[in-house]
Amino acid sequence: MSTQTSAQSPPVRPGTASDPRRVEMFSDGVFAIAATLLVLDIEVPDARDGASLWSALAGLWPSYAAHVVTFLVIGIIWANHHTVFGYIARVDRLLICLNLLLLLVVSALPWPTALVAEHLGGGGADAHAAAAVFSGFMMAQAVVFMLFWLYVTRTGHLFHAHVDNAHARAMRLKFGLGLAVYPLAVALAFVSAPATLALHGLLAVYYAANPIWIPSIDEA
Amino acid sequence: MSTQTSAQSPPVRPGTASDPRRVEMFSDGVFAIAATLLVLDIEVPDARDGASLWSALAGLWPSYAAHVVTFLVIGIIWANHHTVFGYIARVDRLLICLNLLLLLVVSALPWPTALVAEHLGGGGADAHAAAAVFSGFMMAQAVVFMLFWLYVTRTGHLFHAHVDNAHARAMRLKFGLGLAVYPLAVALAFVSAPATLALHGLLAVYYAANPIWIPSIDEA
Amino acid sequence: MSTQTSAQSPPVRPGTASDPRRVEMFSDGVFAIAATLLVLDIEVPDARDGASLWSALAGLWPSYAAHVVTFLVIGIIWANHHTVFGYIARVDRLLICLNLLLLLVVSALPWPTALVAEHLGGGGADAHAAAAVFSGFMMAQAVVFMLFWLYVTRTGHLFHAHVDNAHARAMRLKFGLGLAVYPLAVALAFVSAPATLALHGLLAVYYAANPIWIPSIDEA
Amino acid sequence: MSTQTSAQSPPVRPGTASDPRRVEMFSDGVFAIAATLLVLDIEVPDARDGASLWSALAGLWPSYAAHVVTFLVIGIIWANHHTVFGYIARVDRLLICLNLLLLLVVSALPWPTALVAEHLGGGGADAHAAAAVFSGFMMAQAVVFMLFWLYVTRTGHLFHAHVDNAHARAMRLKFGLGLAVYPLAVALAFVSAPATLALHGLLAVYYAANPIWIPSIDEA
């Protein structure tokens, strides 16, 4: 375990391929763009059909709700990603691949969000289908983040020397428990689409209040 | 107050979760994308209906006006955000959450901008509604930025040691006065939509000329 | 002139508001996004009207040409911006405002590009109008970049100590001569829209081959 | 060959035009945006025509397949670009131009992806044409990356001192062999469009498993 080595021992040359800085930059780009592209999914009503613009805007509530929930989810994933990379001293090829897989899911989130925005208001089978697809994507990002976390905590070989890998491994259970909620969210989609969206909003708030955190060896 | 501590005392490890660098990178991404996505809201007229392209282009003036105003607003928020982060030595979870809230509002700005671009030219109740929504978003970003500023100046615990928190707190009043204009802008929307847009342009110019600035302790 | 001062004298605290790093990051974001959003302007033909996809693709040549020219232009502006910021040790409020003005023009470039892509193939008055608007945007970015360059070379107060401001000022004439071509490009738009696009492509190649460059004092 | 010089000898001033950092930042922006814009190509079915949303979603399989393949391709190009820049100590004008050419191709990838997504399901001549265009773009990016790699390994003058340029040149052959597959992929497009897409997916996995890697002189 690298947690025994001193802070100076892993000689990562700054700017080389094992420097985590550029992986963070690319990831931050994808997180920021995915979060900002969400706005394109909100329809701009032209309201030329006699109804007032206010009523047209009111009818777009599923778009607003889906937008806020997905923005929060992306924000929380980003914050956790940011925290984990704060513990990482170097990256290897497998970490880069797991990170790309995570970014693949995150960058796709505007699509299920648009699907929910389009179908939530209509209700019926299509609203349930859209909510189920949305829940599936949320579960996918949680599973991929878990894989990412399992990999970096397996031996802690990529961590800074001051990171306590024993504590990092202990956080696995906490994360694993969170995963159990997602199949329920998929099931809930077939009962109530709005409740499903609300559940994902609550999950985001829960994760915001319960961040990943690992004590340093010198703090523990 | 951390302003009493020496510059060396808070040992923020570069690259760790409390390092403000990556929060800046993510925020800059969102600011830059939101500012650039505005261009997608400007219609590309196909002008196949007999009228010349010039007259079609002239009819798009609300798009140009809304685009320039919102771009300036985003630019000013970015510049102030940039200034504040220049004073910040470390971030904590609550700052990250307030920052995400700010980014949620900023990233949504292309939508009210498109709304104004679509309805300003038509005049009538829809133009007023669009301008009121636009003013509401502008007020939301000002309020969230104020919350952000109140938090970082409450104790100054996140500032660099050379920042004079007493001066930083004094800037609160100046900011608070600015906030009083926004309800007026919402009210003005129901009188004249173009005047509302012009007011927001003037506010942007005002904030550009009156930036946030805190003297260093060694300068004061 | 700051060119007389030693490299150590301007004590810019890294990460503070006068540190150029974050202005570069925000600008790079806008440049990168504007260049990449161009792709959204290229139509994806659905070709359900009997004609083959190949002929539909061939008919999109104005889109391809406009895309390549604008991408090159943005690339060259970025490269020159990158070079200039390589000489800059600190930023002030006016530089940030001029930079925002430059980004406002650059971020809008996908729109005139889409205009040309839409109307170049049709020929006639609309093609001329679209090419004239395109030329106008190109002139606007050149003029704003010139203003930016005039400001940073006026006294050289923002330069690194090793930058020879006398040489930097000498480059103004070279830039000014380039500006004379843009009114011709606007005029040419009313003669031949494709030739106008080709001229802007040639200008981009010319600027790529004749970059901004300032010798260091120790090299001169 | 610069591989003989010591690590201290090339005095690249950080932040100057020859500092590779900002070229990486701009490139990362383009990679991240191109990868994330792919999501806009996936249609959001409105399914108001009687069929269920599930069957409409199932009919979009070519969009999903094209999205995943192109995302992986962009991810692999980014990872290789990241690795190569890890060996580069400074950039010159020609490298910046080759890099812009690479970014031009990468930033255009959402368009052939949308083309495949639109026409793959329909089969027939249009599906073949779309797959051929897609293969052409993939070949273009591979050729431009090869040009980039040939340039940086020609003399190794841009490498860090610890990079073994003899090994770097030896990787050219490996890359050149890979290029031979692309004309086959173009030809395959006229036989089977789905098989062509699958081939590009396999190529991405192959490159993910066989990254660019150069031993350091002190490791060799």
Q: Among all residues of chain B, which has the CA nearest to that of A205?
A: B97
* Contact yes or no for C126 and B39 at CB 8 A: no
Q: C179-204, pLDDT tens digit by residue? A: 888 999 999 999 999 999 999 999 98
User: What pLDDT score was predicted for residue D50?
Assistant: 63
Which chains have at least 3 CB atom pairs separated by less than 8 Å from chain D? A, C
- Amino acid identity at D174: K
C96 touches chain B (CB under 8 A): yes
The residue-averaged pLDDT of D55-60 equals 89
Q: How confident is the model at residue B38 (pLDDT cuts 50, 70, 90)?
A: very high
The residue-averaged pLDDT of C10-22 equals 64
B19 touches chain C (CB under 8 A): no
Q: How confident is the model at residue D122 (pLDDT cuts 50, 70, 90)?
A: confident
Mutate to test the interface with B, among C107, C113, C190 (most CBs of B within 10 A): C107
For D13, which DSSP code?
A: P
Left, alpha or beta for A92 (phi > 0: left; psi -120 to 50: alpha)?
beta
Distance CA B96, CA A52 (A): 38
User: What pLDDT score was predicted for residue A9?
Assistant: 35
pLDDT per residue as tens, chain A (220 positions): 333 333 333 455 555 667 788 888 889 999 999 999 999 989 888 866 567 889 889 889 999 999 999 999 999 999 889 888 888 888 888 898 899 999 999 999 999 999 999 999 887 889 999 999 999 999 999 999 999 988 988 887 888 877 887 877 777 777 777 788 899 999 999 999 999 999 999 998 888 887 777 766 655 4
Nearest residue, CB atoms, D37 vs list C39, C71, C87: C39
- The region of weakest confidence among B7-16, B115-124, B142-151, B152-161 is B7-16
* Contact yes or no for C22 and B82 at CB 8 A: yes
Higher pLDDT, C160 or A76: A76
User: What pLDDT score was predicted for residue C3?
Assistant: 39
Give ipTM to 2 decimals.
0.85
Closest alpha carbon to C214 in C172, C154, C167? C167
Nearest residue, CB atoms, D37 vs list C28, C36, C160: C36
Nearest residue, CB atoms, C211 vs list D13, D93, D108: D93
User: What pLDDT score was predicted for residue A6?
Assistant: 36
Percent above pLDDT 90 for chain D: 43
Distance CA B82, CA C23 (A): 8
Q: Among all residues of chain B, which has the CA nearest to that of C123?
A: B53
Closest alpha carbon to D125 in D190, D217, D57? D190
User: What pLDDT score was predicted for residue B5?
Assistant: 38
Q: D2-51, pLDDT tens digit by residue? A: 333 333 334 555 556 677 888 888 899 999 999 999 999 898 988 665 67
The whole-chain average pLDDT of chain D stands at 84
Higher pLDDT, C172 or A202: A202
Closest alpha carbon to C96 in B28, B83, A163, D133? B83
The residue-averaged pLDDT of D141-159 equals 87
Q: How confident is the model at residue C13 (pLDDT cuts 50, 70, 90)?
A: low
B17 touches chain A (CB under 8 A): yes
The model's pTM is 0.88
Name the A residues in 34-93 with CB < 8 Å from any D CB: 34, 37, 40-41, 93
Q: Which residues of B97-114 are buried (b: 16+ CB within 10 A; e: fewer)?
A: bbbbbbbbbbbbbbbbbb
Q: How far is D65 from chain A (nearest CA, A)?
A: 13
Residue D190 has pLDDT above 90, yes or no: yes
Higher pLDDT, C88 or A112: A112
User: What pLDDT score was predicted for residue B50?
Assistant: 63
The whole-chain average pLDDT of chain C stands at 84
Nearest residue, CB atoms, B208 vs list C97, C129, C133: C97
3-class SS at C190?
A: coil
Structure tokens, A187: 């099931």
Structure tokens, D39: 């999501």
Percent above pLDDT 70 for chain D: 88
Distance CA C65, CA C72 (A): 11
| H/E stretch holding D180 | none
Residue C18 has pLDDT above 80, yes or no: no
Main-chain phi, psi angles of A14, to 5 degrees: -60, 140
Q: How confident is the model at residue B185 (pLDDT cuts 50, 70, 90)?
A: very high
* Contact yes or no for D72 and A100 at CB 8 A: yes
Q: How far is B187 from chain A (nearest CA, A)?
A: 16
* Contact yes or no for D31 and A33 at CB 8 A: no
Closest alpha carbon to B76 in B177, B200, B199, B214? B200
User: What pLDDT score was predicted for residue B8?
Assistant: 35
Centroid of chain to Cα B148: 12
Which chains have at least 3 CB atom pairs separated by less than 8 Å from chain C? B, D
User: What pLDDT score was predicted for residue B47?
Assistant: 62
Residue C7 has pLDDT above 80, yes or no: no
Structure tokens, B89: 């030595």
User: What pLDDT score was predicted for residue B1?
Assistant: 36
User: What pLDDT score was predicted for residue A12?
Assistant: 57
Instruction: From chain C, pick out residues whose CB is under 8 angstroms from the CB of B28.
Output: 22, 25-26, 29
